[in-house]
Amino acid sequence: MAASTITVRPSAIEIARATAAAIPSEVSTRPLLGILGVVTGAGLVTLAGRMLSLGLPDLKGHVGISFDDGAWLDSAFNASLMFIGPFTVYLGGLLGPRRILLFAAGVFTLTSAFLPFIHSYSLLVAALIVAGLTSGTFYPLTLTFALRNIPLRYLPFTIALYAVFVDGGVNIAPSLYGWYRDHLSWQWMFWNSAVLAPVMMICVYLGIPPSPPRKKSGPAPSFLGFLYLSTGLALIFAALQQGQRLDWWRSGVFNAGFWSGSFFLLCALVRRLRAPNPLVALPYLRQWNTILLGCLLFWFRFTLCTTIILIPQALAIRGFEADQIGPAIIWSAVPLLAVALTAALLLLRKLDPRLLFAVGLAGTAFAAWLCSEYSTVWAAENFYRTELLVGLGQAFAFIGLVGCVVLQAIFTGGLSRPEWALTFSAYFHVIRLFGGTAGAIYMGHFIAQREKVHSNLLGLHVTGGSWITEQNIRAMSAGLYAKSSGVVNASARAIDLVAARLRLQAYSLSLIDGFLLIAWSCACALIVIALLRRSPLNYGDLSAMQRIPSSRKESNP
């Protein structure tokens, strides 16, 4: 009888020990500069995307284009981010992060410097595509490099720094753009990136060593497979972002983008089945916590609609500008650094990151519930308290989420093989982009539909022949008569004012529904967090594990 071969799979703790042995036990200047560079890049691309959204009206006025044409500017940038995300896996596997980041940051700097001088619409779209393609490489390579080059006891502080740059980029953008427009010019929405990107390049140049040449073993990486996947995701992404404006399935442009993107995804699937790519390890993603963490990242990006959409729109309908909206949003960034460092210390003291994530989401839900008391008389000052709580909640939730993702990468061996690390990073990058856009799209659609419902319900009580309606119109007509051409004109203006008040109240009620939706979505996400499996070790255990071998070496000369 032939002896059967039994393959013993290493346990999660054995994998963690191997990872701890492979990661440097002491921090040095070069990796520290490299981590600062890639984290700065992640924050920079977040800030650039936010600044573009805020400055879109000024940019449209500068070029002289309509609302419909201007809507494609934001999509050109964001769809390019989506395209380059999976493709960075291919480029990173072939060239290494240093070459990609230096080249991409250099092109991004030049593009950002010249963007304000472009007056042609087609050239502006092309330049924004280049800016998206180059800056989109910053994010996927961030955690991959950090996890391979920072001692385990400094990992929580790396995650905290990452949260400060990324979350801070979202929250300081309105105030920064408002200050630029009032004191300098709107062009600084682009020049801001042109100034910061060279700083990132210096850190990357000094902190990331050149990658060794790739060994030619096994099948060659498939260029076409990545091209099909990236093109499909970018087309679907652009179609979804324009869906609300184009009226979804009733639009030929939306159908063309969605179905052509689906076709390219099908091509990528067929290519995958016929010739598996050595740089992609899809079976590695088939793990319970990995799938749930992807869902939670999607969920978390939706909760950011509180500071990105709901509060800015609640103030914008009152006529507030960016510099007046900014002080309300920036309160969520005020406690960010202190909260991030506190969270890092808690992780080192063996706090489960799932608990940190849950506490953060609970705080975000409570802040959204407080915001549901909103009325049309609120100003920026009314949001200071709730935005401070939102900042606390989002910081804890973000660090807890990234902490869970990093532990999942460590205990599943994600750092032991380059293809696993690249696949893991690209998976969360794609979900991050789709989560943010899908959340914003759904929230915009939700508010539009709820506004119609509230307009209809309020309109039932404002009807011709009602003595209350007639009395209000007569009173306003009398007040407007002195500045009108006659009684008929004064009555028409009074009716318009009643209709405007009706729209304002309906929109306000729809925003309240949006705040309540955020609160309930956070409550549902808490259930998903409870389904996450506990990691075998926490950050405190990992830190102690890496210090033990070094102490033994010192005691045994």
* CA–CA separation, 421 and 144 (whole Å): 6
3-state class percentages of the chain: helix first, strand second, coil last, to nearest 5: 80, 0, 20
Residue 357 has pLDDT above 90, yes or no: yes
What's the confidence (pLDDT) of residue 212? 65
Residue 164 confidence (pLDDT) above 90 = no
Task: Please provide the DSSP assignment of 542-555 as one string.
Answer: HHHHHHHHHHHHHH
Buried b (16+ CB within 10 A) or exposed e, 214-235: eeeeeeebbeebbbbbbbbbbb
Q: What Å distances lie between residue 551 and 316, 545, 548, CA to CA?
A: 59, 11, 5
Tally of structural domains, the chain: 1
Q: Is the pLDDT of residue 481 over 80?
A: no
Q: Are 533 and 292 spatial neighbours (Cβ–Cβ below 8 Å)?
A: no
How high is the pLDDT of residue 36? 84
At 234, list the tokens. Answer: 């970018």
* Average pLDDT, rounded, for the chain: 81
What's the rounded mean pLDDT across residues 107-119?
Answer: 93
Would 425 be classed as within a structural domain? yes
The residue that leads in pLDDT, 41 or 221, is: 41
d(CA 241, CA 248): 10
Q: Decide if pLDDT at 155 tops 50.
A: yes
> Confidence band (pLDDT; 50, 70, 90) for 54?
confident
Separation of alpha carbons 417 and 149, rounded Å: 15
pLDDT of 72 higher than 60: yes
Residue 15 lies in a domain: no
Which of 348-368 are b and which e, b meaning 16 or more Cβ less than 10 Å from the residue's Cβ? beebbbbebbbbbbbbbbbbb
Dist. CA 87–CA 229, nearest whole Å? 8
Q: What pTM, to 2 d.p., does this model score? A: 0.83
Is residue 274 in a domain?
yes
462 within a domain of the structure (yes/no): no
Q: Give residue 230's identity as a one-letter amino acid code.
A: S
Is the model more confident about 88 or about 205? 205
Q: How far does CA 349 lie from the centroid of its chain?
A: 29
- Give residue 190's pLDDT band: very low, low, confident or very high (50, 70, 90): very high
Q: Is residue 490 part of a domain?
A: no
Reported residue count of the chain is 557
Reported as a single tens digit per residue, the pLDDT across 437-472 is 788 888 888 998 898 888 888 777 666 656 566 666
Residue 519, both tokens = 């609160």
Confidence category of residue 531, pLDDT binned at 50, 70, 90: very high
Q: How far apart are CA 25 and CA 154, in angstroms?
A: 10
Q: pLDDT digits over 15-27, tens only? A: 666 666 656 655 5
Query: Residue 475: inside a domain, yes or no?
Result: no
pLDDT recorded at residue 554: 44
pLDDT of residue 222: 67
| Separation CA 352–CA 334 (nearest Å) | 25
Long-range CB contacts (within 8 A, 24+) of 459-462? 459/502, 462/498, 462/502
- The whole-number pLDDT of residue 27 equals 56
Cβ proximity of 417 and 283 under 8 Å: no
Helix (DSSP H) and strand (DSSP E) numbers for the chain: 22, 0
Is the pLDDT score of 328 beyond 60?
yes
Residue 522 domain flag: yes
DSSP 318-377: TT--HHHHHHHHHTTTTTHHHHHHHHHHHHHTT--HHHHHHHHHHHHHHHHHHHTT--TT
The whole-number pLDDT of residue 466 equals 62
pLDDT of residue 381: 80
Question: Is 90 exceeded by the pLDDT of residue 520?
Answer: yes
pLDDT for 264 equals: 93
Q: Are 139 and 86 in contact (CB under 8 A)?
A: no
Residue 337 forms part of a structural domain: yes
User: Domain range for residue 99?
Assistant: 27-211+222-455+505-541
CATH at residue 526: 1.20.1250.20
pLDDT for residue 333 is more than 50: yes
Residues near 386 by Cβ (< 8 Å), separated by ≥ 6? 367, 370, 371
- In eight-state DSSP terms, residue 11 is P
